[in-house]
Amino acid sequence: MALRSATINVMIAAAEKAARGLKRDFGEIEHLQVSRKGPGDFVSAADVKTEKTLVAELSKARPTFGFLLEEGGTKAGSDADHRWIIDPIDGTTNFLHGIPHFAISIALQHRDAIIAGVVLNPATDELYAAEKGQGAYLNNRRIRVSARTRMDDAVIGTGIPHKGRLDADGHKQFLGQLEKVMAATAGIRRAGTASLDLAYVASGRLDGFWELGLQPWDMAAGVLLVREAGGFVTDAATDGDPLTTGNIAAANPDLHAGLKGLIA
Ligand code: IPD
């Protein structure tokens, strides 16, 4: 791995430790799928357990940092400038259904900036990592966003809002965006894990990605991955910060403005 700072090592070690437990849990899902009770409670417990492991490991290494956690909410640290932003299982619906496309996402925020990010898919052992100013990596390989310049060659990822996510107007707005993007591109993908969607933009597998109504823990690490891989990331409509608005548009530099134009 070309990233060698103490901070990124701490993040990778924490993610890998949590991933070992999550891998075992994922192995159980198949059996629970066919049980009458289903895997729902088991998955909630796995989510909480994974988050606890991450918090314990990161606190051991950096006892003063705070946390923003999907499950546990906000925990202030004595260092007001640093906090970890964590999603223990991004892509919970995939995990629940036994689909091997989910991730542990850890970002480190310093004041307003994300300065390090790790996204690890325990089912494939793909580990994405980035540090501000140091580039983005998939396992030991430097990654870059795609070089495609034509929207009609582009494959664009998105997330489809489901019941309970966005109101009826939000669903309508999304359908309008879908119509525009599908008419202009080589294809749309909906894989179900925003952090991995962003990691795929960073590694050039996807040419762009947009989604409405995300939470900071779904995006924080992925946003840094895309930027460090040479891509652009903004709010879906403005030049604002997606971590604040929840709406994101990410793409290679040639397609970012075009994607935003389509979803405007
Ligand atoms: C979800 C995933 C999914 C996205 C949803 C998110 P979670 O996160 O990132 O791709 O479409 O909007 O809520 O709940 O599985 O951590």
Which protein residue has the closest C-alpha to ligand 1 atom 1? 91
Q: pLDDT tens digits, residue range 102-156?
A: 999 999 999 999 999 999 999 999 999 999 999 999 998 999 999 999 999 999 9
Q: 217 C-alpha vs ligand 1 centroid, how far in Å?
A: 9
Q: Which fold has domain 151-263?
A: D-Maltodextrin-Binding Protein; domain 2 (3.40.190)
Residue 179 has pLDDT above 60, yes or no: yes
**Buried b / exposed e across 153-171, counting CB within 10 Å, b at 16+?**
ebbbbbbebeeeebeeeeb
Scanning the structure block, which residue is given the tokens 């294809």? 187
Q: Is the dihedral of CA 219, 223, 229, 231 positive or negative?
A: positive
Which of these CATH numbers, 3.40.50.2300, 1.10.260.40, 3.30.9.10, 3.30.540.10, describes 6-143?
Answer: 3.30.540.10
Domain parsing of the chain, residue ranges: 6-143, 151-263
Give the model's pLDDT for residue 1: 53
| pLDDT at residue 164, rounded to an integer | 79
d(C-alpha 210, C-alpha 260), whole Å: 9
At 47-98, the pLDDT tens digits run: 999 999 999 999 999 999 999 999 999 999 999 999 999 999 999 999 999 9
pLDDT digits (tens, 9 = 90+) for 197-210: 999 999 999 999 99
CB of residue 51 inside a 6 A radius of ligand 1: no
Ligand 1, atom nearest to 94 Cα: 15
